[in-house]
Amino acid sequence: MFRYLWRHKAFSAVLLFLFGLGLHLQPIAAWLGLALLLFLRLTKVHSFLMIYDLTDRAALTHVRTLATKRAHMLSPDEYGNVSEDAWDKHLATFIKKTLLPEFQRRKIDHLLAKDPKRSVARLRTRINRIIDRRQPAERTVELDDTLTGREFEIYCREVLQEAGWRAALTPGSGDQGADIIAEKDDRRVVIQCKFYNGTVGNKAVQEAYAAAAFQDAPYAVVVTNSVFTKSAHRLAHKNGVLLMHHTDLPRLDLIVTSGAGSR
DSSP string over 236-258: HHHHTEEEEEGGGGGGHHHHHHT
Check pLDDT > 60 for residue 60. yes
Torsion of CA 54, 55, 56, 60, to 10 degrees: 100
Residue 145 or 80, more confident: 145
pLDDT tens-digit profile of 102-118?
889 888 887 788 788 88
Nearest alpha-carbon partner for 188 in 258, 253, 254, 240: 253
As a 3-state breakdown, the chain gives helix, strand, coil percent values, each rounded to 5, of 60, 10, 30
User: Quick one: pLDDT band at residue 195, thresholds 50, 70, 90?
Assistant: very high
Identify whether residues 168 and 117 lie together within a single domain.
no
Check pLDDT > 90 for residue 156. yes
Domain boundary among 84, 104, 134: 134
The confidence score (pLDDT) of residue 196 equals: 87
Identify whether residues 9 and 103 lie together within a single domain.
yes
Identify whether residues 49 and 167 lie together within a single domain.
no
Residues spanned by the domain of 57: 3-134
Identify whether residues 248 and 155 lie together within a single domain.
yes
Compute the distance between CA of residue 121 and CA of residue 88 in angstroms, rounded to an integer: 9
| Residue 116 within any structural domain of the chain | yes
The confidence score (pLDDT) of residue 85 equals: 86
Compute the distance between CA of residue 6 and CA of residue 12 in angstroms, rounded to an integer: 5
pLDDT, mean over the chain: 79
Identify whether residues 23 and 126 lie together within a single domain.
yes
| Residue 263 within any structural domain of the chain | no
Domain boundary among 74, 99, 134: 134
Residue 211 or 261, more confident: 211
The confidence score (pLDDT) of residue 131 equals: 85
Identify whether residues 188 and 107 lie together within a single domain.
no
What contacts 177, CB < 8 A, 6 or more positions away?
192, 207, 208, 210, 211, 214
> What number of CA atoms fall less than 13 Å from residue 82's CA on the CB side?
10
Check pLDDT > 70 for residue 143. yes
Check pLDDT > 50 for residue 1. no
Identify whether residues 112 and 172 lie together within a single domain.
no
Identify whether residues 80 and 166 lie together within a single domain.
no
Identify whether residues 119 and 164 lie together within a single domain.
no
Domain holding 211: CATH number? Answer: 3.40.1350.10
Q: How many domains does the chain have?
A: 2
Q: What mean pLDDT is predicted for residues 75-94?
A: 78
The confidence score (pLDDT) of residue 2 equals: 45
| Residue 240 within any structural domain of the chain | yes
The confidence score (pLDDT) of residue 180 equals: 94
Query: Amino acid letter at 231?
Result: S
| Residue 140 within any structural domain of the chain | no
